[in-house]
Amino acid sequence: MLKGHPKGLYVLFFSNMGERFGFYTMLSIFVLYIKENFGWDAEQAGRVYGLFLFGIYFMPLLGGFLADKVLGYGKTIAIGTVIMSAGYALLAVPTKAPLLVYAALAVISVGNGMFKGNLAVLVGNLYDKEKAQLRDSAFSIYYMGINIGAFFAPYAASGMKDYFHTTLGTTLAQGYNAAFAVSGAAMLLSLVIFLALRRFYAHTDRRAAAKGAAAAGEVELTPAQERGRITALLIVFGIVVFFWMAFHQNGFTLTLFAENYTVQEVSRASYLLFDLPSLLGIVAFISGVVFALRGGMAAWARGLAAAAALGGAGLAVYKYTTFADQNPITAELFQSFNPIFIVFLTPLIVSAFASLAAKGREPSSPAKIGIGMLLTAIGFAVMVAASQGLASVGSLNGGRSPELVTPYWLISTYFVLTFAELFLSPMGLSFVSKVAPPRLKGLMQGGWLGATAVGNLLAGFIGMFYKTWELYQFFLMLVIAALVSALLVLAVLKRLKAATS
């Protein structure tokens, strides 16, 4: 999986991991914070959530333009990281004034816009013609870094919240403020990694607009070829809007479903999946077994893997014995399942694609995107089943449902959506990297994220239906939207494949 990749990938991997840890620490509790701090209902919280995510993913259009035409990618990324840290610091200030929160969200959006898309450009620039065949796997590895950070984020947020609220006796909202401060610190760590190890990616920090495509080592395109590539990208951008509209229910309606419709106490065995040390023990056990049984490894490496497996199993068993018969869980912890599934499934997906590529049967990047949309429909079909017989949100009057369901419905949904995400999101980044005209790389990566922005805006907007419709009707709408998007990809697949040739 890692063979043949340049060292610069790992620098950008860890830079992105730190930034995403900070972002998801904040996002995992954001809706809960504004409901608690301002007393807003789900619809009000959803509007702010949607607008914030729109800003987070729309601003990379401007950040990409700035990097392409003015500052270059490295400087733009560094400045954006500092701005994000300042935004999280503002969010950490206890306040009853919504205006201060709005200002903090705006600052975070600007900083993220300068960081996110341009870092992906640097990843793509690492893979010239000699390494082009590794580009898809590179973005899958890069994407795994995002989710390692995202996995630890809900635990950091929950831990800080509980420490300040329960141990120190502050208000619950101030516990959330303390968690936002962790996000700011994570941004600064990301900046240190990015700047200290610049030598490993400095050669990719180029502006084709300033130097010319040929000078930058890029293919020169005719105007017609450039128009064809941009058209293909715009088609993809339009289709994936509906994926992000559905997927980013994880921080909104799926979190509210966890809060209002899911049991909040689980057995010892189930609690192994919600307790961080136990879950890390399970991760160590599974990873250790896989590597110990893997062929082509030195004896010492096998021994180390076996030791990790035994240690992980011992930790999980020990923690199991310390749990009560019933153990409390919180809504934000459900968001850790998607990133941990990505960490586990990424090597599997990369290996499967490599095996198919060796046989000449690997799906194209656009085809993978279409498969991702189909898997998204399956994921939300699970929620349609989970919602059968449950009272509507409107009938609860802000309380919890009298009928509660097992957490395994949400866990199963996140599992299927993780497969969908791995087929769609890193492949989309790779597709943009392949197809974007050299002089517009930053802008086109911003366009991919801009499509995400529209999807995020819709994610918050459709919250009104979550509140007024029957639950199964809301999730069925997401199933239908994903299926329609999959059919659209199929309809234009030949045209999209032609753009990469």
| Rounded-to-integer distance, Cα 426 and Cα 154, Å | 22
User: 104-113, 166-175, 361-370, 467-476 — which is least confidently predicted?
Assistant: 166-175
| pLDDT at res. 130 | 67
Question: Both tokens of residue 471?
Answer: 């639950």
pLDDT tens string 428-438: 888 888 888 87
Burial of 392 (0-12, 13-18, 19+ CB in 10 A): middle
| pLDDT at res. 500 | 62
| Rounded-to-integer distance, Cα 76 and Cα 14, Å | 18
Q: Band of the pLDDT at 214, cuts 50, 70, 90?
A: very low
3-state helix, strand, coil in the chain (%, to 5): 80, 0, 20
Any bridge partners for residue 262, and if so which? 405
Long-range Cβ pairs for the range 52-55 (8 Å, 24+): 52/105, 52/108, 52/109, 53/248, 53/251, 53/453, 53/456, 53/457, 53/459, 53/460, 54/453, 54/454, 54/456, 54/457, 54/460, 55/105, 55/106, 55/109, 55/113, 55/453
Mean pLDDT of 210-227: 61
| Rounded-to-integer distance, Cα 178 and Cα 89, Å | 10
Mean pLDDT of 280-307: 82
Q: What is the pTM of this model?
A: 0.77
- Domains of the chain plus CATH, in order, are 7-197+208-264+329-499 (1.20.1250.20)
CA distances to 22, 46, 109, 454, 491 from 460, in Å: 21, 5, 16, 10, 29
pLDDT tens string 468-478: 889 999 999 99
pLDDT tens string 91-141: 888 888 889 999 999 999 999 999 988 898 898 888 876 677 777 788 888
